[in-house]
Amino acid sequence: MLKKRIIPKFLLKDGRLVKGLRFHENIRQAGNPVSTSKVYDSYGVDELIFLDIHASVESRKTTLDIIEKVSEEVFMPLTVGGGVTSLKDIADLLKAGADKVSVNTAAVENPNFMTQAATHFGDQCMVASIDYRQVSPDIFRVCTHGGYRVTDYEPLEFALRMQDNHCGEVLLTSVDRDGTMTGYDLDMIHQLSEVLSIPLIASSGAGSLEDCMNAFYAGASAITLSSMFIFTDHSPIKIRSYLFSQGLNVRASSSSRN
């Protein structure tokens, strides 16, 4: 049967990996993206996600360069996003070696952009990246511009809209939990996965093995991990073994040629 997926999420800034807390606080350097990709490939992770958090013109050129290099040596699906605003941006990323492209702000500002992109490149190429934060008790809103601007959209409502507009997957990120390693937002994951007919990738908050398991039980098809890999000693192999021991359907560990 289809395996649950474990996906490292790499944030890129000017060609280097970085990691922050709640998106903007305490941004630290976290290494070389190409060599790090190869290390994770050897751990047998299921996919890689790269988000360019700077997304300036220069940063984008560097990102394309990194994706080209990664795709020459690592043979698993690569999702890339960050500052994607046009069909050309998507075409450039796919040409550089990305398999899926994630769109965030551009899709919120113009939901039809997702439809255009999916029509042009195929549903399976498009990931709707939805960032959200809590604005008051029980009230959550979608954010754009790297979490800086709050919109009137509610996450579930927007996710359904993106599904209607033919994206292939939703990448759901809690800005509040980012980098905190206090666990995924299980309620939100459950809410969305119950209603969406497309896969949901849960992002932000993983700090323990149980957190990972809980996200899958809440309905995620895949989880991303960032801080937990960079700042703790939990490797994908450990996570996979743990999940397997808990009865979850994950891939048996296999190493790559590296």
Partner 1 sequence: MIAIIDYGMGNVRSVFNALDYIGAEAVITSDHQQIEDSDRIILPGVGAFGQAMKNLNDAELVQVLTREVVEKRKPFLGICLGLQLLAKHGLEHGQHQGFGWLDAQVTPLESKSGEKLPHMGWNDVIPNGKHPLFHGIRSEHCVFYFVHSFQVECNDKNDILATCRYGQHFVAAVAKNNIAATQFHPEKSQDSGLEFLENFIQWQPEEC
Query: Which parts of this chain interact with partner 1 (CB under 8 A)?
Result: 1-5, 41, 44, 46, 71-73, 75-77, 94-95, 97, 99, 121-125, 168-169, 196-200, 221-222, 251-252, 254-257
Shortest Å distance, C-beta 141 to partner 1:
25
The residue among 120 and 149 lying less far from partner 1, judged by its C-beta, is 120
The residue among 15 and 77 lying less far from partner 1, judged by its C-beta, is 77
Burial letters 72-86, b for 16+ CB under 10 A, else e? eebebebbbbbbbbe
Torsion region of 164: left, alpha or beta (phi above 0 gives left; psi -120 to 50 gives alpha): alpha
The residue among 144 and 193 lying less far from partner 1, judged by its C-beta, is 193
Shortest Å distance, C-beta 221 to partner 1:
6
Shortest Å distance, C-beta 250 to partner 1:
9
Measured CA to CA, the distance from residue 198 to residue 159 in angstroms comes to 10
Shortest Å distance, C-beta 151 to partner 1:
26
Shortest Å distance, C-beta 33 to partner 1:
17
The residue among 30 and 90 lying less far from partner 1, judged by its C-beta, is 90
The residue among 125 and 213 lying less far from partner 1, judged by its C-beta, is 125
The residue among 56 and 258 lying less far from partner 1, judged by its C-beta, is 258
And the tokens for 149? 């601007």
Contact 172, 159 (CB under 8 A): yes
| CB-based contacts of 136, cutoff 8 Å, min separation 6 | none
Measured CA to CA, the distance from residue 203 to residue 223 in angstroms comes to 6
Shortest Å distance, C-beta 114 to partner 1:
15
Contact 245, 210 (CB under 8 A): no
Contact 126, 93 (CB under 8 A): no
Shortest Å distance, C-beta 67 to partner 1:
10
- CA 243 from chain centre, in angstroms, equals 20
Tokens 């990972």 correspond to what residue?
212
CA 186 → CA 86, 180, 212, 223, distances in Å? 33, 15, 10, 12
The residue among 169 and 178 lying less far from partner 1, judged by its C-beta, is 169
